A and B are shown apart, each in its own frame.
Chain A
Amino acid sequence: MSSDRLSFIVAAGQADRLLPVAVLASGAAAMQTEVQIFLTMWAVLALCKGAGRAPVSATYSGMTETFGDQLQKHHVGSFAEMVAQAKEIGPVKVLACGMSMDLFGLTLEDLDDVVDGVAGVAGFLDSAQEEQILFV
């Protein structure tokens, strides 16, 4: 990879959107690429403490059971678990969107411990300047 920094803006809260982000972030962390994950909208709700397993996108709802069983059988953790593991091996930072936090009436304490802080959009974009940003 040419850039050694990678940012994700994650707005989706479904498992089939969140897991690829966690997998990519893990791979990037393994390769010592600095990763920032900016959670907004439904992704913030998905990371609330006690939110439970994220649902599968409606288009693929028929596969919910197969998807869940396969993930469990092959030891794939939740988004939060995978990102927490990625943090152990590389530079990964998770930020929640301030606007979404206000929208849903949340504070940092309401979110899973994998979330490092709350950031405004300008601050996030400034810190992500000149690096690859993927929107999910």
Chain B
Amino acid sequence: MVTADRVIDARGSFCPGPLMEMIRAMKTAEVGQVVEVLTSDSGSKTDIPKWAEKAGQEVVEIVSGDDGDAILVRKVK
């Protein structure tokens, strides 16, 4: 598993909270860094990759667990 430079625990937040947290973190991250969002919102698994595709960022890993998913995105630009 890729190690994230920053981890945000957004578990418990409803849609689109985790996506908003991811976008905010990516704004302040440096190019090349990986941001990980922990989410229990069922929409995040489709929303965050869709956003990443549109924003030109790279989803490096999605890990599903019992208490939610970990979505890791690398800042490409």
**Chain A residues close to B by CB (< 8 Å):** 23, 26-27, 30-32, 71, 73-76, 85-86, 88-89
Give the complex CA separation of A76 and B13 in angstroms.
7
Q: Which residue of B lies closest to A89 (CB)?
A: B23
Contact status B23-A30, CB under 8 Å: yes
Q: Is the interface of B mostly helix, strand, loop or mixed?
A: helix
Give the complex CA separation of A58 and B16 in angstroms.
26
Give the complex CA separation of A71 and B13 in angstroms.
9
In the complex with contacts A27-B47, A89-B24, A75-B54 CB distance below 8 A: no
Q: Contact string, B10-30, partner A, CB cutoff 8 A, digits 1/0? A: 001111110110011001000
**Chain B residues close to A by CB (< 8 Å):** 12-17, 19-20, 23-24, 27, 47, 50-51, 54-55
B-side contacts of A31, CB under 8 Å: 50-51, 54
Contact status B55-A32, CB under 8 Å: yes
Q: Is the interface of A mostly helix, strand, loop or mixed?
A: helix
Contact status A32-B14, CB under 8 Å: no
Contact status A75-B14, CB under 8 Å: yes
Give the complex CA separation of A119 and B24 in angstroms.
30
Give the complex CA separation of A88 and B16 in angstroms.
14
Partner of A75, one of B12, B23, B50: B12
Partner of B20, one of A71, A74, A85: A85
